[in-house]
């Protein structure tokens, strides 16, 4: 453990940080296999924040352009447009109108 003194907005804090051996981290990473996405799986569109789906403007099979509005997500009393990050075809939709989603939830996939 190493001790540090940190000043945050005029308040001083003493913190302890544990050093991790880089070799131990690399060895642990080798033991846990990483699953790769299947070829041609597409681009996943995920929720940037928790909220409720107010509107779903696409269906599986629809062709979309980059920047096209896919859904509207209500979060903190604000409507947020979920836009297509790329052009392609909607291969799956993981939510429906009225769904409650967490941050990072899969909304749809574009291939």
Give a yes or no: residue 36 inside a domain.
no
Q: Residue 88: which region, alpha, beta or left (left: phi > 0; alpha: psi -120 to 50)?
A: left
In whole angstroms, give the CA distance from residue 74 to residue 50. Answer: 9
Same domain, 56 and 95: yes
The kind and range of the H/E element at 92 are strand 88-93
Query: Closest Cα to residue 109, out of 54, 38, 34?
Result: 38
Give a yes or no: residue 37 inside a domain.
no
Same domain, 17 and 70: no
Same domain, 80 and 47: yes
Give a yes or no: residue 65 inside a domain.
yes
The count of structural domains within the chain is 2
What sign has the CA pseudo-torsion 66, 67, 68, 73? positive
> What is the model's pLDDT at position 105?
94
Look up the domain containing 6 and give its range: 2-31
Give a yes or no: residue 102 inside a domain.
yes
> What is the model's pLDDT at position 20?
65
CA distances from 60 to 13, 40, 41, 57 (A): 52, 16, 14, 11
> What is the model's pLDDT at position 9?
77
Q: Please identify every stretch of the chain with a pLDDT value under 70, giving residue numbers as ranges.
A: 1, 18-41
């Amino acid at each position: 453990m190493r001790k540090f003194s940190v000043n945050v907005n005029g308040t001083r804090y003493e913190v302890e940080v544990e050093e991790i051996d880089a070799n131990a981290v690399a060895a642990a990473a080798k033991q846990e296999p990483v699953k790769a996405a299947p070829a041609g799986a597409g681009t996943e569109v995920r929720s940037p924040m928790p909220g409720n789906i107010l509107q779903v403007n696409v269906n599986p099979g629809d062709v979309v352009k980059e920047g096209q509005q896919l859904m509207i997500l209500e979060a903190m009393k604000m409507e947020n447009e979920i836009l297509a990050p790329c052009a392609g075809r909607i291969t799956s939709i993981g939510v429906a109108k009225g769904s409650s989603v967490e941050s990072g939830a899969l909304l749809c996939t574009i291939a």
